Structure 1
Amino acid sequence: MSQKVLLVDDSGVMRKIILRALNAIGISDVVEAADGAQALALFGEESFQLVLTDWNMPNMNGLELLKAIRSSGSTTPVIMITTESEQGRVLEAIQAGASNYLVKPFEQETLMDKLQKYVAVSA
């Protein structure tokens, strides 16, 4: 089974942190995008088992990306990763079709817990 993950965050530093955490749990096939628009283009070209996206980004934010993915008919799991933790925002993401939600900063174990439902992870 493919383990290809699309990682979307406008912060190169945050992408590196998340990439390192993904690698540590056995996920190495990761395609990176700097914003939702770039991610949506990649999503249309390749097949991903999971999308991890930041919420706040220029050009197209994570919620807009999520809505575009869902409007295409895709059921690919999408996990929102953000500093936004207020309940209204979480509910908005879930109602738009987010599979799960991860609040920054997070521990590697928390990431592993969120991902294991969607991809095979190893400690």
Structure 2
Amino acid sequence: MNVLVIEDNAQNIYLERYLLEARGHHVSEAIDGPAGIAAARAAVPDLVLLDIQLPGMDGYAVARALRAIPQLDAVPIVVVTSYAMSGDRAKAMVEGCDDYIEKPINPDTFVTLVEAAGLNGRNQEKAGA
């Protein structure tokens, strides 16, 4: 699976990349919203891992922008954030995200959750439609 990580924290990028690549996934990264949108346009990923607290353009705005691009509408978006306030999961779903993983991530379950989102995400729903 080709995964785009949109995250501004180098340690989080490292950990997510390490865990995903250890299971055979390809990871690309962007450190802010505009760079993430550009990267997704340039090479459509199978799944996007998206932080909410990004500099300048927050993750909700990034999700809306990705959903507005026809070739990216079917790509599952999984929020991975420490910004875990009441109602945030519901807000992420309203903004076009497909799943929500709270930080700190659990290395024992993270990749399984990501893989499930990729298999059960929008790509499969649209393919079966």
The match for 2:8 is: 10
The alpha carbon displacement at 1:59 in A equals 2.4
Where do 4+ consecutive residues of structure 1 move more than 4 Å? none
2:64 to 60, 64, 67: 67
Separation in 1, partners of 2:20, 2:47? 12
Separation in 2, partners of 1:16, 1:23? 10
Identity between Structure 1 and Structure 2 (%) = 26
Q: Aligned AA for 1:96?
A: E
Provide Cα deviations, 1:1-57, integer angstroms capped at 9, x if missing partner: xx2110111111210011111122221x21110011100011111111000011101
The match for 2:88 is: 89
Higher helix share: 2
Answer 1 or 2: higher relative contact order, Cα 8 Å, separation at least 6.
1
2:28 to 25, 28, 31: 31
CA RMSD in angstroms comes to 1.3
Q: Aligned AA for 1:44?
A: R
The alpha carbon displacement at 1:75 in A equals 1.6
**Partner-residue secondary structure (3-state), 2:101:** strand
Gaps of 5+ in 1: none
Gaps of 5+ in 2: 120-129
Q: Aligned AA for 2:58?
A: N
TM-score (ref. length: structure 1): 0.87
Separation in 2, partners of 1:11, 1:88? 24
